[in-house]
Amino acid sequence: MDTLSEGYTPEALCAVLAGKRTHTPRQRKQKKTEPPQRTNQLLVDIQAKLAQGKGAGYANWAKKFNLKQMAQTVAYLQEHGLMDYSVLSEKVAAASGSYHALSDEIKSAEQRMTEIAVMEKQIINYARTREVYVAYRKAGYSKKFLAAHEIDIAIHKTAKQYFDVQGLKKLPTLKSLKAEYAELMAKKKAAYADYRQSREEMKELLTAKANVDRILAVEPTAPEKRKEKQTDAR
């Protein structure tokens, strides 16, 4: 008893028995037990779902999902090492981000190529009608001269207005525009090859995740629903 704490000496215990002292038992320190962490192994979750086959809700679930399709989905997940739901979700987000980034890159290149084509056209029109407009100005903006060259003068004015809207102080050369156009075309072709591959990867992942969500009755988020609709539309 001497090895115990102060409250367990013979004197202390006698005092407790005589009612002269209150004894407070030692509290054993309990080890904190961590709550069991839920596994994210999809195969385990899917098997658990199938084990519910004896339940009343299994018939409704089976109607909504084809078992052959489920087997294909599980095979895809195993082949690509995506048997963890969080990893699958991250992979879907990454693939979607890559796809949309490439899509934006291609759209940006196409928009600039369209601008270059319009610019080239206006530069050519401006150069072709310049002498006519100079003569029109020297004629004091004669109505008779205007009537004789109305189309060329209108084309020249349209080109000049276009340059003013673009804020151009000096016109680019056709050579520089053609070089930029060719460079953009090369980048677009290179990006499009990656874009098609990225699109297919995203579609496969979205389909797999949608199937998993259906198996496990997980409601997809609103952004994922929009992505699925956009992918189907393409």
pLDDT single digits (tens) 149-169: 999 999 999 999 999 999 998
Q: Give the residues across from 41 on adjacent strands.
A: 84
For residue 129, what pLDDT band results from cuts at 50, 70 and 90?
A: very high
The residues near 77 (Cβ < 8 Å, ≥ 6 apart) are 42, 43, 83, 88, 208, 212
- Residue 198 pLDDT grade (very low, low, confident, very high; cuts 50, 70, 90): very high
Residue 230 structure tokens: 């956009």
pTM for the structure as a whole: 0.62
Q: How confident is the model at residue 21 (pLDDT cuts 50, 70, 90)?
A: low
Q: With contact defined as beta carbons under 8 Å apart, do 96 and 202 qualify?
A: yes
Q: Give the integer Cα–Cα distance in Å for 65 and 59.
A: 10
Residues 187, 170: Cα–Cα separation, whole Å = 27
| Angle subtended at Cα 222 by Cα 218 and Cα 223, rounded to the nearest 5 degrees | 110
Q: Is 41 helix (H, G, I), strand (E, B) or coil?
A: strand
Helix (H) or strand (E) holding 93, with range, is helix 85-138
Domain boundaries in the chain? Answer: 42-48+61-233
The mean pLDDT value of the chain amounts to 80
CA distance 19 to 11: 12
**Tokens 């899509």 belong to residue:** 103
Name the residue with higher pLDDT: 68 or 150. Answer: 150
Residues 68 and 70: their CA atoms lie apart, in Å, by 5
Query: CB–CB of 234/202 below 8 Å?
Result: no
